[in-house]
Amino acid sequence: MTDTPLTEEEKAQIRQRLQALEVEHHDLDDVIDRLVGEPGQDRLQLQRLKKRKLMLKDQIQRLRTRLIPDIIA
How far is it, in rounded angstroms, from Cα 49 to Cα 69? 30
Percent of the chain with pLDDT over 70: 90
pLDDT digits (tens, 9 = 90+) for 48-66: 999 999 999 999 999 999 8
Give the residue extent of every domain in the chain: 8-67
pLDDT number for residue 32: 94
Taking residues 15-32, report their average pLDDT. Answer: 97
Helix (H, G, I), strand (E, B) or coil at 41: coil
Q: Which among 54, 56, 72 is positioned nearest to 64, based on CA atoms?
A: 56
pLDDT digits (tens, 9 = 90+) for 29-38: 999 999 988 8
Q: State pTM to two decimals.
A: 0.81
